[in-house]
Chains A and B, each alone.
Chain A
Amino acid sequence: MKQILVVEDYPSLQHIYKVALENAGYKVDTASDGGQALAKAQKNTYDIILLDLLLQRVSGLEFLRALNAPLNYPKTKIIVISNVSHPEVAKEAERLGVYKYLVKSEHLPKDIVNEVNNQFGGG
């Protein structure tokens, strides 16, 4: 079963993404801030990390810098799901190895599941 880490500090959204992805057949782990996410990402191997950027304590961009996924976890794909739609932030995220940048308010849970499915050709 494919494993996904959902990094989101807003509890309801974390719950929504978890339910949507579990319903689609994925094993979902969650983290509420960048520090917690970093500890989990270094301990387990995730296929996909769904990452919010505005997080408490350690931000999403700081998490990306610390994780350095392209070098340390080349098999993990990172999808950013954030309400920050500034192109400069998106560019920086891309530079740090983010595979896809989605604007939160424009994507329904099913759209996010579709994006994840596209990675594996199904759950």
Chain B
Amino acid sequence: MDLYYSLSPEVSGPEDLLQRNLLYIKIRWYLLLVLGAGGLLAAVRLKSTAPSPTKILFLIAIVAAFNLFFYLLTHIARRKSTAVKTYINIALFQVILDIVSISYCVYLDGGEASKLFVLYVLPIVISSGLFARSIIYFTAFFSMFAYFFVSFVYVVNRTLAIPDAGSILKTAFFATSFLFIAYLADYLYSLRHQREVELAQTEMVSLASHQLRTPATAVKGYLSFLLEGDVGKLNPKQLDFAKRAFDENNIQLRLIDNILNVARIDLKRLHFAPRMTDLSVLIEEVVHEHLAIIGERGQSISFKPHTKNTQTAVDPQLMRIVVDNLISNASKYSGKDGKISVKLFGDKQFVKFSVEDNGVGIATFEQKKLFKRFSRIFSNQRTEVIEGSGLGLYLTKELVKIHHGSIDLVSYPKEGSIFTITLPRKEALK
């Protein structure tokens, strides 16, 4: 029963269902006006072939009466705040009466020869906008049955004979197409709903990350008091532990920022403000920020610009994340005594920078999935857990893409990796 009473994911609640119902009632008025006028005109002009005006007027009166009845019923239900099941029943009953009315139209218009069978699409589409999958298919099956029935009855009434195989097949073909329309409508609505759910989840992740950043920033503040000796001098061991906690907190903040930026990209809310920037200075600053932790790991890092013209159009804040992620990765996946080399090249059109390490390297089959979300390198020689969200390279690739640039990787297991970023000098400003 729950399946029966489930609404389409498109419908946000009882009030929305009511509004949609009222909209469909309005559409029914317009259709009645157009089809009724058309039918009456045909009845007057083509007296011999068209159904009698009396029959058409009877149909118009019936449909107008049931539409008025449902209009009033919907308003009464709204005023009395009836249970959602009642609203669904009202809507479903209308859809059934629509199919019955359309069937009568088809009958009056010539049974299987009538083109009015296309009207069956309407209740199916209305149904897919209101109900869950089970009722959409019920509507399609009911339409199929009704169309088949009226076509059959029409032939029997007119010719007093069973329809021939050709007309049965033709009717069956059109009737089956209702199922296909139901499938298509259901599929399109599900697709839209899925996208909405994904966006809502991303929104939640974004909000949660924002909330996480504030306490993490407070921890950073308190730890800095301890490290600065503002609340008394620490012994060497306490100082070492406080320093480790401070480094971990920095990693935590970077992870939160990565998650937030990926959420911003998904929600199309990432602010991109490119301007001519000296990439050499930017890289130098990021390298400098990494010096301490790279030194602690027993690794070394060097940076060399091989071009004089180091100006290029980038968003400095975003490009800083790219350089930071690449250097951070190179260090994470290199062992003790690891050597990281950052180089900057350029020609008239492009600026390239590369981050090279002599770390664990990446096997060819793993390189393809490396830039996907939550990817990790498993074929490495390191046994300890490497911190990271698995979002760093995905975010890097997306940020480079925003700059109209590209990212290339050359890597061999146990030898190391070279990540090269190519950026058009002025493309980002266009």
Is the C-beta of A123 less than 8 angstroms from some C-beta in chain B? Answer: no
Instruction: Say which residue of A13, A85, A86 sits within 8 Å of B217 (CB atoms).
Output: A13
A109 near B214: Cβ-Cβ < 8 Å: no
A residues in contact (CB < 8 Å) with B:
10, 12-13, 16-17, 19-20, 23, 83, 85-88, 104-105, 108-110
Which chain A positions have C-beta within 8 A of B217?
13, 83, 104-105
Interface centre among B213, B216, B221 (most CB of A within 10 A): B221
Instruction: Say which residue of A12, A105, A109 sits within 8 Å of B253 (CB atoms).
Output: A105
- If A12-B222, A16-B221, A86-B271 touch, does A23 touch B214 (CB 8 Å cutoff)? no
Is the C-beta of B336 less than 8 angstroms from some C-beta in chain A? Answer: no
Which chain A positions have C-beta within 8 A of B221?
12-13, 16-17, 20, 108-109
B218 near A105: Cβ-Cβ < 8 Å: no
Bound complex: CA A17 to CA B217 (Å): 12
Is the C-beta of B225 less than 8 angstroms from some C-beta in chain A? Answer: yes
- Contacts between chains A and B (CB distance < 8 A), count: 47
Q: Which 6 A-B pairs give the minimum distances between C-beta atoms?
A: A16-B221, A12-B218, A108-B224, A105-B217, A13-B218, A109-B221
Q: List 14 A-B contacts (CB under 8 A).
A: A10-B214, A10-B218, A12-B215, A12-B218, A12-B222, A13-B218, A13-B221, A20-B230, A87-B271, A88-B271, A104-B217, A105-B213, A105-B217, A110-B224
Main SS at interface, chain A: helix
Task: With both chains docked as a complex, state the minimum distance between the C-beta of B101 and any C-beta of chain A, in angstroms.
Answer: 54
Bound complex: CA A108 to CA B214 (Å): 13
B213 near A16: Cβ-Cβ < 8 Å: no
**Chain A proximity mask over B266-277: 1 for CB below 8 Å, otherwise 0:** 000001010000
Interface centre among B215, B217, B273 (most CB of A within 10 A): B217
Task: With both chains docked as a complex, state the minimum distance between the C-beta of B273 and any C-beta of chain A, in angstroms.
Answer: 5
Bound complex: CA A81 to CA B117 (Å): 66
Instruction: Say which residue of A12, A23, A88, A105 sits within 8 Å of B230 (CB atoms).
Output: A23
Task: With both chains docked as a complex, state the minimum distance between the C-beta of A22 and any C-beta of chain B, in angstroms.
Answer: 11
Instruction: Say which residue of A13, A85, A86, A87 sits within 8 Å of B214 (CB atoms).
Output: A13
Task: With both chains docked as a complex, state the minimum distance between the C-beta of B429 and any C-beta of chain A, in angstroms.
Answer: 16
Which chain B positions have C-beta within 8 A of A13?
214, 217-218, 221
**Chain A proximity mask over B184-217: 1 for CB below 8 Å, otherwise 0:** 0000000000000000000000000010011111
Q: A16-B225, A20-B230 are in contact. List 15 more A-B contacts (CB 8 A).
A: A12-B218, A13-B214, A16-B218, A16-B222, A23-B230, A83-B214, A83-B217, A85-B317, A87-B271, A88-B271, A104-B214, A104-B217, A108-B220, A108-B224, A110-B224
Which chain B positions have C-beta within 8 A of A10?
214-215, 218
Task: With both chains docked as a complex, state the minimum distance between the C-beta of B154 and any C-beta of chain A, in angstroms.
Answer: 66
Is the C-beta of B228 less than 8 angstroms from some C-beta in chain A? Answer: yes
Which chain B positions have C-beta within 8 A of A108?
220-221, 224
A109 near B215: Cβ-Cβ < 8 Å: no
Which chain B positions have C-beta within 8 A of A17?
221
Which chain A positions have C-beta within 8 A of B216?
105
Which chain B positions have C-beta within 8 A of A105?
213, 216-217, 220, 253, 257
Interface centre among A86, A88, A109 (most CB of B within 10 A): A109
**Chain A proximity mask over B309-321: 1 for CB below 8 Å, otherwise 0:** 0000000010000
Which chain A positions have C-beta within 8 A of B220?
105, 108
- If A23-B230, A83-B213 touch, does A109 touch B225 (CB 8 Å cutoff)? yes
